[in-house]
Structure 1
Amino acid sequence: MELIFWWMIPAAVLLGAGTYWVARKRARGDDASRLPVAHSQRLTALPEYQAAVRQHRRWLTVAAVAGAVLMAASVVAAARPAERTTVSPELRNRDIILCLDASGSMSSADAAVVDVFARLARGFDGERLGLTVFDSSAVQVFPLTDDYDFVQEQLEAAREAFDGAPGSAGFLDGTWNGAGSSLIGDGLASCVQGFPATAAGSHTGSGGTGIGGTGTGGTEERSRSVILATDNFISGEPIFTLQEAAALARTRDVRVFALNPGDFDYGTDSEQPGAQLRSAAEGTGGAYYPLDSPDAVPDILRKVESTEATAFKAAPQAAVADRAEIPLGVALVSGLVLAGAMWRLRS
């Protein structure tokens, strides 16, 4: 226990001592100016008078003690008694990476995809979100964070970039550093490796693909999901095929939820882009949705939130807790006693 404004106590003592000295000086002056009354002892000797004086003095004593306690408790409360501790708060949340294909075949749909991402972000509470965009190489727009205002700002910047707003072209810088275009498997692999706990100890890269894991030493087991928006139209030779990236997600307990703006009826042909994307997503324990499906957002929210939000310890933090309840309680009681004593003295 400590007093944050400890200096208020000696200041109050000095002020009280000065007030007492001034009051005593005035009292001596008042005594000198009083005139004696003849034969007053006849009145003061009466038993009724003596009893009234004793009662008056008792209530004066009560009022003086209550007033002193009230002042002392008020000063202690004003000095802000507090308790400092170091805590490691337990957090329960899930990690979700929004993974967006920014290739040419997606140009007409990316703004709508970002709107869906924004709706998803508004539906989460406590989860950490990250955003990665890719074409021939992947770029992390922002890492996992639970600052939802920042997430919405970045998604608004992404929507403006895909809408062609002036000055927003730099948003996609770094996504064309590899050979080819729309390398879906590489993009998904980059997103899977974007989780701190799963990226530790692994690194994969080649040329300008931008694929790689940077170990963070994290050991927490968390619920991890990737929301992948792509039409799965590949133009180039990726390092990871879509199936290999999905297998990587399975080994790292990452569920993939696919949003396809180019969803068509492919029939039973398992080699068509939409069918391959559905197979890859469902193979990780995730799901597949056409982008315009009204069930996509609520269903993804429900399935992500149905996973266990694993508890883990956050970094130690210094905590200061005000503990003024005792002096404030004493001040309240003494104030009530003082009010009662003053009422008795006036009656």
Structure 2
Amino acid sequence: MTVDGEGLRIHPEVIEALESDTPVVALESTIISHGLPRPDNLRVAREIEQTVRDAGAVPATIAVVDGKPCVGLYDEELRLIAESDDVVKLGVRDLGVAAAKKLHGATTVAATASLAAQADIDVFATGGLGGVHRHARDTWDESADLTALSRIPMAVVCAGVKSILDVPATLERLETLNVPVYGYRTTTFPGFYLADSGHALEWSFDFAEEVADAILAHWQLAWPAVSSGALVANPIPVEEQLDPALHDRILNDALTAAEKQGVAGKDVTPFLLEYFHRETGGESLRANVLLVKRNAELAARIAAAIIDAAPAR
């Protein structure tokens, strides 16, 4: 690891935490630049980092600044990612171009996991995972998040996959890719804005320590044949979820609008999230912020439990 150089720039606080066995939680930056509306996005980004700190861990928000991959952001960099119009959305395949062109970029789940792993961080909190898109049998549109998880030993805490996706197809792909999915205090896969997507989970745990034990065992027993991450599904509480009837109506309208306007590829998710925010009068934003904070808090506890249990491997 280096603070500066040809590779990553790792924030000194993150380096100190890693060297002292203090838990660290990686955080993505596309939620800041493309997932949340301004000016709420900067405030929420700071609140998510504070949630990690309050749970006893160090946050490492990941982004690319002037072409340099940064693991842990200074506040002025966080503001830049939130407020600049020049921030591009970066998957793993885009990182080299961003470095060469010295771009500012927000990292997707896949790119965040890749950079976090290079910094020896193994727990990551996000809102919703990317997955198989609707009509993927015709478009072949599938998020690189899935293949990244199949190759990177990263524990990802999320509220399921975004409800705009094909949930059963995504779960099938995760199984094929040898990525275990653990429900946290749930036996059904969450649906992002909704507590229950309607699809059962095979494994469920009630405590962060149990989740950590399962993740560590997976990494130990599956390697070297498999080097995959693990998905921890943490549902939004039922009483805090988006009204299901409103959700279904807005989702259908949003999908129709995207098709009519020719929105495709990586532009689909931000388009649909913005549609939800606008048409629900901010209710989707409320749910989104709540679930991300809950995931950040759980990720911090899992990171601490992994550190406590790791010597027993």
- Taking structure 2 as the reference length, the TM-score comes to 0.38
TM-score (norm 1): 0.35
- The structure with higher relative contact order (CA 8 Å, sep 6+) is 1
